[in-house]
Each structure stands twice: as C-alpha cells, then as structure tokens.
Structure 1
Amino acid sequence: MSAGDRDPAGLGTPRAIGLVAPALLLIGLFLAFPALWALYIGITDYQLTGPAAAEPRVVGLDNFATALDDALFANSLRLTALFVLGSAVVGQNALGFALAWLLRGVRPVLRRAVEGVVLLAWVLPGPVVAYLWFAVLSRDGGTLDLLLGRPGTAWLVEYPMASLVVFNTWRGTAFSMLLYTSALAAVPPSQLETARLAGAGGWRTVRDVVFPHIRGHVLTNTLLISLWTANDFTPFLLTAGGPNHESEVLPVLIYRQALDSGRLGYASAMSTLLLVGNLVVALVYLRLLRRRA
C-alpha cells in the first residue's frame, strides 16, 4: 500500500494527530480517567469520611466478593433486570413500535401532534417528570386515584416497581417511536400492499413482511434502551429505593452506598459489576446483529 493510499487527504501524520488530539484529550479526561479511577477505588476501602478517606487501603477483590454475597445487591440486580425487561425490552419497544405503526396512515397534522406530545415526555428534565408523576400517583387527590375512583391508594408505596415500569415506559417511548418510524419508511410499500391483497391481518403483516426488514433496528433499539434503563437514576426521584428496598435498582443502591453510607470503594465495586453486566448485554446484542448480517 502506498503512502497516498494510507493518507488520501494528504495531511501527514503530525497534522492528523493534531486534529484528533483535542477529541482524544476530552475522551481521556471525561471518560477514560473517571473509569480508571472508579476501578482503582473499587479495590480499596476508600470511604467518604474517617481515616480511610485520607489513607485508603488496597483490599483487592474483597469489595467485589462482598457485593456478590450481599442480599441487597442480589435484590437490586433482580429489580434492575425486572425494570429493564418491563419498561425497556417490552414496554418502550412495544409502545414505540405501536405508535409508529398506527401513525403511518393518519393525517400529518395529527401525526405531528402525537409525536410532539410523546417527545415532550422524553425531553422534559427528570425532576420535572418525577414531580408530574408524583401528582398522578399521589394518595392525596392524585390524578390516577380520581380516574379509577380509588381515593387514598398509595401507588408508589403499594406498587413501587409497577409504577416505575409504567413511568419509564411513558417517559422513554419517544426514542423507540422515532427509530421505528424511520425503519418503517424503508419497508417496500409493494410488499405491504401484496400482504393486504393476500388477506394478511395486521399481526401477520408485521411478522412476515415488516419484521424481517427492521430486525436490525429492533436489536439496535433494544440494546440502546436496555443500557440506558439499566443505568437510569430517575427511579430515585420517585421512590428513593423504597419502601424497604422494594424499588432499589442498582444505580440507586450504588448512590446509597456511596453517599448515605460513605462506602465509596464498595460502591465503586458495584459500579464496576454494573459496567461488566452492561458489556455482557452489549456483546450478546452485537453477536445477534452479526448473526443477522
């Protein structure tokens, strides 16, 4: 391979390095360094206050062993899996696709109005959305109680995880809707018309005609929303992990261990385990994408 093939822009190695250096510096400063620092803290007994805050001691893999044997960590892992499966893999995927599918044939004005409302839930800041859902789920004159005629029902206390699943589905559906709207535009209309003339119903059309064309989009969307949901801290704004750890997903548990208990080393070890879990999920999805290709 000639030098021209390796450097088609003719920049030369020093100029090329100079162009990408600012980006690499920012990535190293705000991504690589915090990640490496968290890994280091995870193998120490570093605490927020006390002697271990000034002179942390390296404890090796003790924090990881303690976390894997901790009933609270196991509980949070189970709740996080439930949260991801219910609100992302099923909830946002299904609702996002349903909206994209149903809005294909409606008038542009109505479609834009519905998309705007769905997008509003996505772009609003987390504290604002949490406040709105407090008003909906409150036991004291909450909107949901008034609609169902069940005054005094404390949804966030009696059904904390179900409330979080519905909340996150409502809040995060916009991304799935936009992605599937774009994906459905690539499905050949002739194939949809052929399925209609053959008497195929809506479900058979989606299964046999639409899904083979958008399978890659489904996997990509599921990967992204799964990772976002697994690392989402917004549940803390609604339930703070309660009652009695019944909605304490992993980000909330890590926060409590780090700031409430002051066990920064132990919390960093949990964060590393969460990162490993994210990597495993990502590798599974990427393997599925490669098999499809």
Structure 2
Amino acid sequence: MSTDAAGLGRRRAVGFVLPALVLIGVFLVFPALWTVYLGLTDFRLTGLAAADPKMVGADNYTAALADERFHSSFWLTAQFVAGSAIAGQAGLGFAVAWALRDRPGPVKRAVEGVVLLAWILPSSVVAFLWLALLDRDQGTLNALLHTPGFAWLLDHPMPSIIAFNIWRGTAFSMMLYGAALASVPPSHLETARLAGASTFQQLRDVVFPHIRGHILTNLLLISLWTFNDFTTYQITAGGPEGRSEILPVYIYNVALSGGQLGFGAAVSFLVLLVNLVLALVYLRLLRERKGAVA
C-alpha cells in the first residue's frame, strides 16, 4: 500500500511539473537549439540560401568575431550597460531609496509614483516621449535650455540613450534597495551616528555590508536586462552611422534588415555566452558572500 501511495505521489508530482516543463521546452529550449542550428548555416531571408540553406560550420562565428562592426557594437553595449545600468540605474535607484527612507508617507509615495511611472509605461510610449523631448526643432529640452536646433540624437546618440534607459529603469533598483534598507537595523545606524560617522562612513561600514546580497542581485538583473535591451532601436535605430548600435540592435539590423539569419543567429549565441559569463560572475560573488556570512 505504501509503495502504491509513493508511486501515486510521484505521478502527481510529475503531473504538476509537466506543464511547466513543456512551456520551458517550447519557449526556451527549442528556440535556443534552433538558434544554434541557424548559426551553423548560411540561412537568409531571401535568395537561394532561404530555400536551401547549407551548413557552414563555425564560419559565421569566426566572421562575427572578426567583424569590426561587431567589435564596435560590443564596446557600445559595454558602455551602455556600465553607464545606464551599473552607474545610472543602480546608483540613482539607491540614492532615491536612501533619500526616501525616513520621509513622510505622502512625499515618499509621490516621488515613488513619479519614478514608477516611467517603468510601467509601455516602451513604445516612453520612446515617443523621449523623441519629443530631444527633437531638434520642437523638442522640450531645447525649449527649456534655449538651444533651438541642437540635435541631441545626432550629435550625442549614446549619452541620449543612456539617459533614456536610466530614466526608464531606475524604478526597479529603487524598489529593491528600498526593501533592502528596511532590513538594516536602525540601532546600528544610530550607533554609527553617535560615534561621529559621516554619511559615507555609515554607508560603507553599516549599510553596504547588510545589503551586499541585494546589491549583487540587482546588478545581475539590470545588467542582463540592459545588455539585451532593444528599446533603444525606437530612439536612434542604432544610428547615426552605427554610433549607438548596441548588440541587440546590431543583431536586428544584420538578421532581419540585412536578411542574414544564420549570421545573426551566430551573433545571438555569442551574446548568450556573454550573458552566461556575467551571470556566473555575479553568482560566484553571491556564493562568496553567503560563505563569508556563514
């Protein structure tokens, strides 16, 4: 009887897990394997290669690694992640959370609502708002600065999309850090203040050690999201002259606009490997932190 009950329990467990496994297989595993396959072919959207693609082995990967345009896109993506995610969203998100930690309810809710608004709006709406803000002829920013005709998106495309992504994504870091700061014992901060510690010393010696795990988790998530962000295409489409063509935009331009699906799939797989490396680095730091705490 016990054996039958155990078998029934296993079947029920499999029944509960099976739908999730099917979804993972259909929407994650199969697309990943299909991308690997396409990356080994000369598949194109048009022409003979579309009707009868040929296996080319690692040619697409070697071509991508030797492509100056790929190198430029990778460097621009590194700048985009460092500027908008690590320095921008994480830094500004923590600053807002720290400034609001002791503020009264109405003020805190008002500021959080304004910051959250940029995060919950559809990406296309946010992109349109920034196009209106930075427009050369009738842009709001030029009107405020009294600089009519200044082409922000043409002259400074990377700073423009970095500022756009900071404004759009700071809310997540703000919420995560706000929850993390609530776990810092107030008595520790009060003791540090009574000892004459400055704000910087309080952050360094009291706050950051308590929320280090939250910081690493936040950096992992926003780095991966930013590394794979495609919304900037609606702002600059990678231009002018490829000066804001980060890797997701580069893949789109090569694979869909250029029709080189095989080559684009190979670049996508290289981007996946970079994401895995980033994730492994952050996870190792998290494990080291847990080991130190234990």
TM-score bucket of the superposed structures, by smaller chain: over 0.9
Show the counterpart of 1:123.
120
| Amino acid aligned to 2:183 | A
Show the counterpart of 2:129.
132
In 1, Cα distance between the equivalents of 2:183 and 2:8?
Answer: 38
Matched, 1:62 2:59: yes
TM-score (norm 2): 0.96
In 1, Cα distance between the equivalents of 2:97 and 2:9?
Answer: 47
Matched, 1:154 2:151: yes
Show the counterpart of 1:18.
15
Mapping 1:18-167, distance limit 5 Å: 18-167=15-164
Q: Which runs of 5+ in 2 are unaligned?
A: none
Mapping 1:197-212, distance limit 5 Å: 197-212=194-209
1:291 is matched with which residue: 262, 285, 288?
288
In 2, Cα distance between the equivalents of 1:146 and 1:197?
Answer: 48
> 1:106 offset after TM fit, Å?
1.1
> 1:47 offset after TM fit, Å?
0.3
CA separation of 1:3 and 1:197: change in aligned 2, threshold 3 A: farther
Show the counterpart of 1:173.
170
SS of corresponding position for 2:235: helix
In 1, Cα distance between the equivalents of 2:207 and 2:266?
Answer: 43
Write the deviation string for residues 118-137 of structure 1: whole angstroms up to 9, x where unpaired.
Answer: 11100111110000001111
In 1, Cα distance between the equivalents of 2:260 and 2:108?
Answer: 50
Which runs of at least 4 in structure 1 moved beyond 4 Å after TM superposition? none
> 1:73 offset after TM fit, Å?
0.3
> 1:145 offset after TM fit, Å?
1.0
CA separation of 1:3 and 1:226: change in aligned 2, threshold 3 A: farther
> 1:158 offset after TM fit, Å?
0.3
In 1, Cα distance between the equivalents of 2:146 and 2:192?
Answer: 44
Show the counterpart of 1:264.
261
In 2, Cα distance between the equivalents of 1:3 and 1:74?
Answer: 60
In 2, Cα distance between the equivalents of 1:145 and 1:202?
Answer: 37
SS of corresponding position for 1:151: coil
> 1:141 offset after TM fit, Å?
2.2
Show the counterpart of 1:233.
230
Write the deviation string for residues 242-289 of structure 1: whole angstroms up to 9, x where unpaired.
Answer: 000000000000000111110000000000000000000000111111
| Amino acid aligned to 2:249 | V
> 1:146 offset after TM fit, Å?
1.6
> 1:49 offset after TM fit, Å?
0.9
> 1:3 offset after TM fit, Å?
7.8
Q: Aligned Cα RMSD in Å?
A: 1.6
TM-score (norm 1): 0.96
> 1:11 offset after TM fit, Å?
4.8
Show the counterpart of 2:217.
220
In 2, Cα distance between the equivalents of 1:271 and 1:150?
Answer: 40
Q: Which runs of 5+ in 1 are unaligned?
A: none
> 1:24 offset after TM fit, Å?
0.6
Write the deviation string for residues 5-64 of structure 1: whole angstroms up to 9, x where unpaired.
Answer: xx6xx8522221112111111111111111110110000000001111111111010000
Percent of paired sites with the same residue: 63
| Amino acid aligned to 2:204 | R
In 1, Cα distance between the equivalents of 2:244 and 2:122?
Answer: 21
SS of corresponding position for 1:265: helix
Write the deviation string for residues 107-154 of structure 1: whole angstroms up to 9, x where unpaired.
Answer: 101101111111110011111000000111111121111222211111
